[in-house]
Amino acid sequence: MLRIGSTTVEKVHEMDLNGMTLVQLMPDYSNTDFQNHPEWLTDGATDAGGHALLSLHTWLVRHRGLTILIDTGAGNDKRRPQQKVLDQLTNPFLERLSAAGVEPGDVDHILHTHIHSDHVGWNTRLANGEWVPTFPNAEVICSDLEWRYGSALTDGDEDAAAVRRREAGLGKPVRTPVSGTFLDSMRPLDGRVPIRRVHFDGSEVLPGIRFVPTAGHSIDHASIEIASDGEVALFSGDVFHHPLEIHVPELVSVFCEFPDAARRSRLSFMERAADSSAVVLTSHFPLSSAGRVGRTPSGFEWRFI
């Protein structure tokens, strides 16, 4: 457990994701580029076979009397034929959350960095053949634009999806969110739990908590900043997936929908993290998944804590 001011943050692990090589994760990666910088290949973040060692988890935050989840992982029983590693899982995530002292009914708010399959899955669970809210008392806070984009794609309304893309102003995507995600993990919440769809303009959504616009990985991706007693926590979402993307900002993951915007957002995030000396809570780094971004003469570096 980490303490940022009077706020506590705890990782609730769902699963490891260790099947992709560095080249598969980041197509622009080249071993040659890193031969002179072995320190960039952080112990525990890569293996001898050149695989990226990744984690999938949720962050449990206790802040000013509130119990908050930052994203909700992949979820169980979800049909993900496009993502075999996430297809019809049976992970003991809720048991791990319970071991951290939180039952589903205790969660006050869920904050979503973006609406992708590995970040919203536990919003719902399968009960008698129906997707129902897992956290029945939680207000869900997410991007209004991303909600409308996901809805348009789910309905097969390409005209509406094109309007959303023009609204975002990021150009043409190289990929779209995994089909089925919005249908089984977001839409079933509507009318059953409070949903606050917001515009990510940097204003507070809860006391001391704001979304930081970092679009690119998804159409309206945001990171999340929590300020507590003069200290700062920054939840990166998928601004990056592996520490190499910090040392070499031109890299971009194969999962990013708008790669150029993703690179710009990562640089902006790293500048914010370094300038504020924030504790950075990542979505997919292994080990503690937490650390700090520091400046170097040539750019930025990552240090786990």
Band of residue 106 on the pLDDT scale cut at 50, 70, 90? very high
User: What would the mean pLDDT of 66-76 be, rounded to a whole number?
Assistant: 98
Q: Which residues of the chain form beta strands (DSSP E)?
A: 2-4, 7-17, 54-63, 66-70, 109-111, 124-127, 130-133, 139-143, 195-198, 204-206, 209-213, 222-228, 231-237, 279-282, 290-296, 299-304
144-154 vs 158-168: helix crossing angle, rounded to 10: 160
For position 31, what pLDDT does the model report?
65
What percent of the chain lies above the pLDDT cut of 90? 92
The arithmetic mean of pLDDT across residues 121-143, rounded, is 98
How sure is the predictor about 298, in pLDDT bands with cuts at 50, 70 and 90?
Answer: confident
pTM of the model: 0.96
Burial class (CB in 10 A: 0-12, 13-18, 19+), 50: middle
The whole-number pLDDT of residue 58 equals 98
Question: Do 192 and 132 contact (CB within 8 A), yes or no?
Answer: yes
Say how far apart CA 221 and CA 206 lie, in whole Å: 18
- Compute the average pLDDT of residues 105-119: 98
Residue-wise pLDDT for 11-55, tens only, equals 999 999 999 999 999 998 876 566 677 777 777 899 988 899 999
Give the pLDDT band of residue 64 (cuts 50, 70, 90).
very high
Instruction: Give mean pLDDT, residues 201-221.
Output: 97
Q: Where are the beta strands (DSSP E) in 88-243?
A: 109-111, 124-127, 130-133, 139-143, 195-198, 204-206, 209-213, 222-228, 231-237
What integer is the mean pLDDT of 176-186? 97
- Please compute the mean of the pLDDT values over residues 141-161 and round it to a whole number: 98
What is the model's pLDDT at position 207? 97
Mean pLDDT score of the chain: 95
What whole-number percentage of the chain has pLDDT above 70? 98
Q: What is the mean pLDDT of residues 115-135?
A: 98
Tokens for 171, please give them: 């150009």
SS (H, E, C) 35-48: CCCHHHCCECCECC
How confident is the model over 148-168, as a mean pLDDT? 98
Confidence of residue 293 (pLDDT cuts 50, 70, 90): very high
Q: What digits encode the pLDDT tens for the residues 236-245?
A: 999 999 999 9
User: In this predicted model, what pLDDT tens digit does every residue of 191-201 receive, in sequence order?
Assistant: 999 999 999 99
Closest CA to 104 of 136, 65, 67: 136
pLDDT of residue 35: 64
Fold of 2-304: Metallo-beta-lactamase; Chain A (3.60.15)
pLDDT for position 57: 98
Return the pLDDT at 42.
72
Strand 66-70 to 109-111 pairing: parallel
